[in-house]
Structure 1
C-alpha cells in the first residue's frame, strides 16, 4: 500500500514538473544603475515597467533584476530621491530573452519638474540569441494586409505555402510545430493545423523560429510557429467591426451550365470580423476578449452550388465553395499582481471540396490540385468538413523576483470528414437490374452428319437475356472520416 502511495506521489510530482516546463519563458531584465558623474553604484533605486505590476530595487552594488516580463514593448521608469527620473521608451522584450539595460542617473538638488526621456533602440544583432527568429507584434500586424495567422506566416522569409501545406526552409510540411499560447495544435494526420485560422486582430504576438531552436520545442525539425493571443483590458472597453467584399452587385455575371458548374466575373467573396474586449461587469479584476471571423468565397475555380456538410450543419454553413469560420473567447482573472488565471476557448470550421487541401482527399493528388476527373459533375465530388477546437486553462504565479511557475491544462480536438451528399460508407446500395442477376440462355445448333447419317446437336453460344446487353463499369465511392483528441 505504501509502495503504491509513493508511486502516485512520484507521478503527481512528475506531472507538475512537466506542466511547469512550458515552451514559452517570460523575459528577464537585468542591469546596473550608477551616478552619471561619479560612476558609483546607486543602491535603493526603483525600476518600474509602466503598465504592469513588475519592478525591482537595486541592491548595495546597484544591480537589479526584473523577471516574468511578457513579450511586448514597454516604457521603463527609473527613480531615486535627489536624482532626476529617467524614462526609457520603446524597450522591446520577447519570450526567452535575457536583456541587460544599464542606467545613469543625474543628480538634482532641487525638484526641477522635468523628466529625462530616453528613446529605446533595439540592437542590430542579438549576440545572445541561439536561433533564427522573426517576431511580429500587434502594432505591426494592424498595419499589414492579412486576415489570419496563416497570412502572416506566408509573408515570412523561408516559408512556402502550397494549399494547406506549410514548408519552412524547404522541409516537409509535417516537420513543423504549431503552438497557440504555449499549447500544441498540430494535426498528427496531415502534419498541419487548422488552428492558424485565428484572425489577425486577435494576435498579440506572432513568432517564427526557423532554426537552432532549443530542445524544449519537441516534434519539430524545420520550424516552430508560436502565436500569443490578446487579453482584455481592465480599464476600458474596446471593439472592432470589419466587412470586405468583391461583389457589390453592379457587374456580377454568373452563369450555371448544364453540369451545375458556376462561373462568375468575380470570386463572390465576403469577409467579416468582429472583436470586443474589456472588464467583466460586476466582477473585479476580471477581463474578457472575444473575436469572431467568417470568410465565404466561390474562389477562382469552377465550382458547384450544392455543397452539403455531413459533419456540421448540412448546407446551412456552406453557401459558397470555400467556407471558413473561426472564433476565440478568453477570460482573464487577476487575483493579485503576482497571480493570474486564464481560461480560453478557440475553434474553427472549414467546409469546402478540398481544392486547396492536402492529401486527405486523394493521396494521388498534390496539395492544391483540382479534380479534373470530376469537373463536369462537381456535385458528385466529395465535400470536406474540418472542425477544430482548443480549450486551455492556465495559472501563472510569481512567488519572488527570481522565481515563478506556470500550470497549464488543455484539450485539443480536430476532425475531418469527406463524403458525398451525407452518404456513409456502409449505406445500403440497390444494384441496378442491368448488372445482376444476368441470365445466360444456351443456344444449340443441330445438323445432319453425312458420315453417320445421324442428326448431331451441339452448344453454339449463350444469349444474355436480362439487362441491356452491356457490362457496366465504375469505381468505388470515396468516404473518409477521422478525428484526433489530445489532452496536455
Structure 2
C-alpha cells in the first residue's frame, strides 16, 4: 500500500493566466461631410445600456464588454443617429467600429447599418480560432472535446485526449471564465464542459501572449453564458448505435440497438430581477452501452480450469457522464457586478482490454468527479478602466478498482489473474486498488486600463494552493468472506489506514 500527500503553494507575479473574458470596442465618430471628429458624441451598446462620450478628436473606447453580438448606436445633437447591428465582440480582442454622422436640422429616422466583421484583426499576434454561440449552435457537437476535434491542427487519441499541433494532451491549458480547470496531478481537464453553456471558445495554438502561463502546445479559453433579460431555453435528445459490416472482427456489431447510446441536454436562462440579476442553468446526461463485446465464459472466481460463466455477450467499454452547470450574475450598481458559477461533472467508464475478452467481469471500473466553484467581483471605474477579483475552489477525485470494498473476498482469486495481453484470461481478478483526489484553492486580481488610444495596460497577481492525496495498493490477503467494512475516501488522516502492503 502506498499513500502520498502533497501540498503546494504557488504565487504568480505579475501576469500569469489572465486570459481575457471580455472584449473591447473602439473607433471614431466623424462628420460625414467634413471628416472632422465629433467631440461629445454618444456611443451606446443598447443591449447592455453601456456607453461613453467621444474625446476631443471624436475617438471612443469601451472595454470590459462580454462577448456576443450587439447593436451599437452613435448619436449627437444636430446629427442623424446611426445604428450598427450585428456587431460582434470577441473576448480578448478589439472590435473597431467607426461612424460617420450626417447633419440633420429636423428629427429624422436613424440610419440602420449591418456591421461586417473585419477580415484582418490588427491585435491578433498568435494563431487563434474563435467559435461563438451562433457558430456552435450550427455544429453537431455536444462537448468541448467535440468542438476541438473539428478544428485544424487538433488530433484526438483513442482515450479522448486532445493534442494541439502534435503536443501531448497534458500540454494544453484549459480556462473557464479566466480560471484554469486542470487537475494538478495529471494536468488534465477536471470537469466535462457541455456545449450549451459556452458563449465563446478560443483555441490559441502557439506564440502565446504573456498573459497565458503553464501552456506549452495550446490554450483553450472558454467564456460561459450568464443569461440576460429575456427567458430562453432548449432541450435536445439523441439516440443511436454503432454499426459495421465487419462482424468477423467486432462481435455483435451487426445487431442494432437504437438506444445503445442516448444523450439528453438542456438549458434555461433569464432574469430573476430584470436588469439586476440573471441566471443560467444547464445540464447533460450521456450513456453509451458500449460496442466492444466480450463473452462471459469465465468468472473472476474461477480457478483450476473452471468455466462457471453463462457465456453471455456483454459490452466491455460502457461509459456514463452527467454534468450540471449554473451561473448567477448580480449587478449591484451599473458599474459593480458579482457572478457566481458552479460546475459539476461525474463520469463512470470501463476500458476495453482484449485479454479479458472471455472474463469481462474482471475489468476495472474508473470513476471521476469534478467540482469547480468560481466567484468574480468586477468593478468598472470608468469606460476605460476596470478591475476584477476572483476566487475559485476545485475538487477532483479519481478511483480505479474491480471491487470498491478492498475487503471483498473475491480479491483472493488474484493468483489466477494473468494481466498479460499475450493470452486470454481464464478466471481471476486484478488486485490493484487505486484512489486519489486533488483540491485547488485560487485567488487572483486583475487591473486593466486603456491609457491611450494605442496602449492598453494589464497587470495582476495570483496565488494557488494545491492539495494532492494519492493512495494505491495490491490486495494479496483478503478475508474468506466479504465483511461489511467500507473504506471511505477521501480521508483526512491517512495514518488510520493499514501500514502493510496487504489487506
TM-score tier after normalising by the smaller chain length: 0.7 to 0.9
CA distance in 2, matches of 1:20, 1:155: 28
- Deviation, 1:135, is 0.8
Residue 376 of structure 1 pairs with residue 376 of structure 2? no
What are the equivalent positions in structure 2 for 1:37-52 lying under 5 Å apart?
Answer: 37-52=33-48
Q: What corresponds to 2:267 in structure 1?
A: 275
- Deviation, 1:229, is 1.2
Q: What corresponds to 2:312 in structure 1?
A: none
Where structure 2 has 5 or more consecutive residues not aligned to the other structure, the ranges are 1-9, 244-251, 297-314, 417-425, 443-503
What are the equivalent positions in structure 2 for 1:59-208 lying under 5 Å apart?
Answer: 59-112=55-108, 114-162=109-157, 163-195=159-191, 197-208=192-203
CA distance in 2, matches of 1:232, 1:16: 32
Q: What corresponds to 1:55 in structure 2?
A: 51
Where structure 1 has 5 or more consecutive residues not aligned to the other structure, the ranges are 1-13, 252-260, 306-317, 356-369, 436-471
- Local SS of the residue matching 1:479: strand
- Deviation, 1:421, is 2.4
Q: Answer whether contact 2:194 2:284 (CA < 8 A) is retained.
A: yes
What are the equivalent positions in structure 2 for 1:83-482 lying under 5 Å apart?
Answer: 83-112=79-108, 114-162=109-157, 163-195=159-191, 197-233=192-228, 235-246=229-240, 264-266=255-257, 268-280=260-272, 285-302=276-293, 321-353=318-350, 355=351, 370-424=352-406, 477-482=431-436
Q: Answer whether contact 2:362 2:429 (CA < 8 A) is retained.
A: no
- Local SS of the residue matching 1:245: strand
CA distance in 1, matches of 2:183, 2:347: 15
Closer/same/farther in 2, CA of residues 290 and 55 from structure 1, 3 Å limit: same
- Local SS of the residue matching 2:215: coil
CA distance in 2, matches of 1:320, 1:475: 17
> Which range moved further: 400-409 or 52-61?
52-61
CA distance in 1, matches of 2:403, 2:207: 47
- Deviation, 1:18, is 6.6
- Local SS of the residue matching 1:142: helix
Q: Answer whether contact 1:296 1:320 (CA < 8 A) is retained.
A: no
State the superposition RMSD in angstroms: 3.2
- Deviation, 1:102, is 2.2
Q: Which has the higher contact order (CA 8 A, sep 6+)?
A: 2
- Local SS of the residue matching 2:293: coil
Q: What corresponds to 1:486 in structure 2?
A: 440
Q: Deviations over 1:418-440 (max 9, x none)?
A: 0112232x7678968x99xxxxx
- Deviation, 1:246, is 2.3
Q: Answer whether contact 1:340 1:396 (CA < 8 A) is retained.
A: yes
- Local SS of the residue matching 2:134: helix
CA distance in 1, matches of 2:152, 2:202: 12
CA distance in 2, matches of 1:172, 1:377: 33
State the TM-score, normalizing by the size of structure 1: 0.74
Q: Answer whether contact 2:88 2:95 (CA < 8 A) is retained.
A: no
- Deviation, 1:101, is 2.6
- Local SS of the residue matching 2:432: coil
What count of residue pairs does the alignment treat as equivalent? 395
- Local SS of the residue matching 1:88: strand
Q: What corresponds to 1:27 in structure 2?
A: 23
Q: What corresponds to 1:442 in structure 2?
A: none
- Deviation, 1:82, is 1.4
Max radius of gyration: which structure? 1
Q: Answer whether contact 2:293 2:316 (CA < 8 A) is retained.
A: no
CA distance in 1, matches of 2:30, 2:432: 73
- Local SS of the residue matching 1:186: coil
Closer/same/farther in 2, CA of residues 16 and 160 from structure 1, 3 Å limit: closer
Closer/same/farther in 2, CA of residues 68 and 16 from structure 1, 3 Å limit: farther
- Deviation, 1:213, is 1.5
- Deviation, 1:404, is 0.4
Closer/same/farther in 2, CA of residues 131 and 304 from structure 1, 3 Å limit: farther
Closer/same/farther in 2, CA of residues 108 and 418 from structure 1, 3 Å limit: same
